[in-house]
Structure 1
């Protein structure tokens, strides 16, 4: 039985990053619950432990102490980012990370990007408490920017939250070599790259992106009715300007 510790960043009196009607602590808890539910439901011999399951405040040392005492095989700390710029997704390991942590980061990062798409800010190393004080392979994920309007809009979409959850689940399952309860586990490399348009659509995609109908990201991702409404609105505005 593998043990996975999922740490929902912030909580209680510490909301984390706040902007555009989003509190980081709410996103991290929702994603953490989703990871636990899907990982345990879809895979054999895995137990998911949560550093927090309610909106409570925990010191960083309490989080890593709980992880170390649990005997968890890996730790994944869930966060959202802030600081502006172009937004996107990035992951962190400790500056002197073990090879196991480096492998976990690489596997998680690729799986989440494959599911979520968008701007890839890269795999980074930093002296962060959660990845430094843990006794097991540990990675911290920064899932989009709450203070970047386009990222915030995505974080408000259930389909994007689902993609973030699924990416974490796929990455963890692949790293641990978990056996699916219902079907063979696919390697991340077998998933379609949603960030690249198909050959038959490439020319039209690039043309419509230049005209501003799309933002140029995630050409292979499913589209929601909300996103369709935005595109239709842009088309109508374009027609009015041309008329």
Structure 2
């Protein structure tokens, strides 16, 4: 199990940088939530905690203490830059080597590849969240909120997803994360859905008399009559067509 602590910068009474109608605290939270969601939905063996899940004020010490007490494997702090520049840069604590520098390389390059941000380079700084964490830590600056070209991208939810995806791709590479196994969909042939069980049983009986194997299932507060379930949609289509020819209103669900 890889334990990743995600830190959306600022929050609550601390808005962070502002510009072009945006506040840093809101952008960092959106990026962090997307990173968390992608990791949880698509990967196995990863556990996530965040320094904040909403617009709350959290001190720097509380952020690093939470990660340290949890024994996180990696600390990722998300920020948005200001000062009139453009593009992406990342920071680690001065003088640290591998694996932190390796993680920085992998995440930095993946964010650049996904977003096509101007590459401002891999840097180091004596930031609290990099200094006081006992695990490898990285801080990323995702565009400039006070530069129109970057701000316009940060207003686009699809671009926020690209930023998040870049971070996740880097984490996948850095920690050899494994994708969840996707299960093939099951295509079900249904010939009726009823609020009254007796009506469903009547339809099932009629289908049985015409040679169909039937089942009555209670799902979504309805009694549903099913005559087949297949991993291959073509097989489901053939059975549904047979049922229509027999006079049933058959359709496929998955």
Shared fold per TM-score greater than 0.5: yes
The equivalent residue for 1:169 is 168
CA contact (8 A) 1:10 1:24 kept: yes
1:142 and 2:134 matched: no
Q: Which runs of 5+ in 1 are unaligned?
A: 184-243
The number of aligned residues is: 182
Task: Name the structure where helix makes up a greater proportion of residues.
Answer: 1
**C-alpha deviations, 1:125-177, integer Å up to 9, x for none?**
11111111111110000000000010000101122101001001111111110
- How far apart, in 1, do the equivalents of 2:64 and 2:14 lie? 17
**Aligned match of 1:131:** 130
Structure showing greater Rg: 2
Higher RCO (CA < 8 A, seq sep 6+)? 1
Could you say which residue in structure 1 is the equivalent of 2:37? 37
Residue 213 of structure 1 corresponds to: none
Taking the aligned partners of 2:134 and 2:26, their CA distance within structure 1 comes to 27
What secondary structure is seen at the aligned counterpart in 1 of 2:72?
coil
Q: Any residues of structure 2 matched to 1:83-102 within 5 Å, and which? A: 83-85=83-85, 87-102=86-101
Equivalent position of 2:11 in the other structure: 11
**Match for residue 196 of structure 1?**
none
Q: CA deviation at 1:98?
A: 3.4
Q: Normalization by structure 2: what TM-score?
A: 0.70
| 1:113 alignment counterpart | 112
Displacement after TM superposition at 1:99 (Å)? 1.3
Q: Which residue of 2 aligns with 1:48?
A: 48
Q: Which has the higher strand share?
A: 2
* Partner in structure 2 of residue 194 of structure 1: none
Note the C-alpha offset of 1:42.
0.6
* Structure 1 counterpart of 2:180: 181
Question: How far apart, in 2, do the equivalents of 1:182 and 1:33 lie?
Answer: 23
Q: Which portions of structure 1, spanning 4 or more consecutive aligned residues, are displaced by more than 2 angstroms?
A: none
CA displacement 1:206-230 (0-9 Å, x = unmatched): xxxxxxxxxxxxxxxxxxxxxxxxx
TM-score, scaled relative to structure 1: 0.73
| Structure 1 residue 48: Cα displacement | 0.9
1:9, 1:25 within 8 Å by CA — same for their partners in 2? yes
C-alpha separation between the residues in 2 aligned to 1:35 and 1:8? 11
